[in-house]
Structures are given as structure tokens and as C-alpha cells.
Amino acid sequence: MAPATSSSPAAAAPAQRLIRFNRRTSAPRQPSPPGSPPPQKMKPMAEIMAKAKFTVVERGDYSDVTCEHCRSGDRSDELLLCDKCDRGFHMKCLRPIVAIVPIGSWLCPSCSGHRRVRSFSQKKIIDFFRIQKPSDHDPKDKCASPQDTRKRRRRSGSLVLQKRRRRILPFVSSEDPAQRLKQMSSLASALTALHMEFSDNLTYMPRMAHRSANQSKFEDGGMQILSKEDTETLELCRAMCKRGECPPLTVAFDSREGFTVEADEQIKDMTFIAEYTGDVDYIKHRENDDCDSMMTLLLATEPSKSLVICPDKRGNIARFINGINNHTLEGKKKQNCKCVRYSVNGECRVFLVATRDIAKGERLYYDYNGYEQEYPTQHFL
């Protein structure tokens, strides 16, 4: 079939494609009313993507995942997958090790980045620890020194010979105020890095255990009562901390062990180190908790009434004292303090006390399995 032709004269000219351009116009800019805020500037896309939450695309098969440290795929039940880079790591190959499988998302050391260490001025340290300035008119602020207390005990002692019992000694804070500020600054930096608040007391929060649940009479088999002399030592140490006279300890970060506590002065045997503080909760509420620093507070005859101290939101320097590997002789030699539970005014309390003389610069360690052999310390350094 022949192609159709047109009889018009315009058809004889070469065909041309007509393209129509539409110019986009913008609406006239209205003047801003007086008193209105200035227009906001848009952030660059690179900055938005850097702060955006990450999303990991699940693989169909994880059988080929190996540990980035030991290059082994064995013990798959101990392999953690980073929720950002999707690489695998054995819990015991990480430094510091991960003792309990984390709940929720987990990032490897490379993806989590380094914790930003804050610097604290003297005023910020005073506010952070709520240090009270002593008043010359308040007799309660004038606490007797340990030497005066011992002299008073000798004068008032009984003439009857009794078996000598080892008493808890109060800590001796550093004399240099600048050194004490440095010690408190290290603790404040560690607490801030973990998004924790400082608390030198047991805290009872809503929807957790009530204070009435913390009664030493519920302890299975009973609990030793803190003597009158040791109670005086405890109150003396608490008063010193309120004045900013802290125990001579510093908190440092070790790439293999995490946060550690070191003695900044020589500490004598049987010296009070700190009270273990944090939120008090029932053990049954924390069975699936991934907090690695929970401390037994009450082992009740009825298991549902047993309590633990959870220093994940609030706590003090006791939270950073590491545990020993009590499966090796070398690990046991590192222990220089112990964890002791006492009944104080009918309530359960947990104290850390030196078990031998501790030299300046020595790290503090105690046995995590002092009461129950449930913590996996065989992988500790």
C-alpha cells in the first residue's frame, strides 16, 4: 500500500517537531509579618544521614558468619552480630568481654565509636555530686576524726577481756583538694559516659521494689548485723563524702577491661571502700535483664521476694570495680577487696571493704561470685 499523501502546500516542506517551552514561575514572596521568627535553614543531607538511625537488611543465611577476632564460626550461640556492619564477634573475644547477651540492638566497638569524655570544672563537680559546704554554726557538720574516735573508744572500753573482732576502718581521703577534684572528675566522666546519675544511696523507683520489701528479716538463714562501731564508721564516711572528701580512688578506661578503679593513695586492710548503690528491684523482674553489674541485696526464703541492686541508671564508684577470674590462681591473687552484706537498722545493705593493703596505682578487684556461683567469670582477664 502506498503511503498517504497530503495535498496541502505545507506538506511539501520538511517536517519539523514543534517543542513548546513552559516557563515555571514562582509565586510572589510575601513579606514576613513583624515579630515572626526568621526562616529556618535546611541541614545538609550528609549531616542528616550521619545522625539517622541505621537499618540492617537481614540475610537469608548466617551459617558463614565468623568471629572477626578468632576467625572461627564455632559456638554460634555466643556470636553477636553488629546491627550496623553485620559482622560477627564472640562474646568472650570482645574486650571488654560481654558476659550476657544484650537485649535489643548491639553495636561492635568500631561502630559504636569512642565515648566522649566530658571535662568538669570545680563548680560542675560540686553540683554533680551535690557536695554540701560545711557550716560553722551547724554542729552536725563537725565530725570527729578516726583518731579521736579510736581514743574515745579506748577510754570507754570495758575492762572485761573479749575476743578481738576486726573492725571496718574509715577511708582516708587525699589531703590535696586539687587531687580530690581530679578523682571526682574521673568518676563523673565515667558516669556521664554511661548516661548514669550519681547516687550514694539505694533508690526505690516506681514500678520497682518498695522500700518496705528491703527487710533483712526476710533473708534466708538470717543476715549479720552491722555493729555499733562499724555503723559509726559508715556514718563518718558518708559525712565525709557529702563534704567532698571522697575515697582516694580514680576511674580509668581500659581497652581490655572497660572502666576500672585504681587506688590513688595507699589503702589499708579492712578500709571501707564504698557502698554498692543503685535502683532496688525484684530478681524476678530482672531475669532477662542484660545489665552486667547487678548485685544481690536480699536472698529471701521466698524467692519471689529476693532483691537485687541495679546500677544501670543510678550508682556510684562501686559500679566500676571489676571482678576477678575465680577459676584461676592468678585471678584469685588479684582480689584485694570483698563484698559484704549487712543488716543496718533492719535493712539490707552491701559494702565493699579492703581485704589487704592496697598500694597506690593498684586496681581494685573483688569476687563477683561471693554468694552464688552464677556469674561466668572464667573468661575474665
DSSP assignment of 255-304 equals TTTEEEEEESS-B-TTBEEEE--SEEEEGGGGTT---TT-EEEE-BSSGG
> Dihedral of CA 374/375/377/379: which sign?
positive
Secondary structure class of 219 (helix, strand, coil): strand
The whole-number pLDDT of residue 5 equals 45
Average pLDDT, the chain: 78
pLDDT exceeding 70 applies to what percent of the chain?
Answer: 69
Higher pLDDT, 108 or 30: 108
pLDDT in tens, 103-138: 777 788 778 765 555 567 777 888 888 887 765 444
Architecture of the domain spanning 122-128+166-366: Beta Complex (2.170)
The whole-number pLDDT of residue 330 equals 81
Nearest in space to 170 (alpha carbons), one of 258, 273, 266, 82: 273
| Distance between CA atoms of residues 301 and 217, nearest Å | 10
The whole-number pLDDT of residue 350 equals 95
Residue with cell 558476659: 99
The whole-number pLDDT of residue 278 equals 96
| Distance between CA atoms of residues 64 and 260, nearest Å | 36
Amino acid at 188: A
| Distance between CA atoms of residues 8 and 335, nearest Å | 108
Are 220 and 301 within 8 A, CB to CB?
yes
What is the number of other CB atoms lying within 10 angstroms of the CB of residue 118?
13
Higher pLDDT, 23 or 45: 45
- Residue range 295-300: mean pLDDT, rounded: 92
User: pTM here?
Assistant: 0.68
Task: Give residue limits of the domains in the chain.
Answer: 65-114, 122-128+166-366
Confidence of residue 15 (pLDDT cuts 50, 70, 90): very low
The whole-number pLDDT of residue 214 equals 97
pLDDT of 141 above 50: no
Measuring CA to CA, how many Å separate 234 from each of 21, 140, 170, 292? 87, 15, 7, 27
Class of domain 65-114: alpha beta
46: Cβ contacts below 8 Å, ≥ 6 apart: none
Are 337 and 307 within 8 A, CB to CB?
no
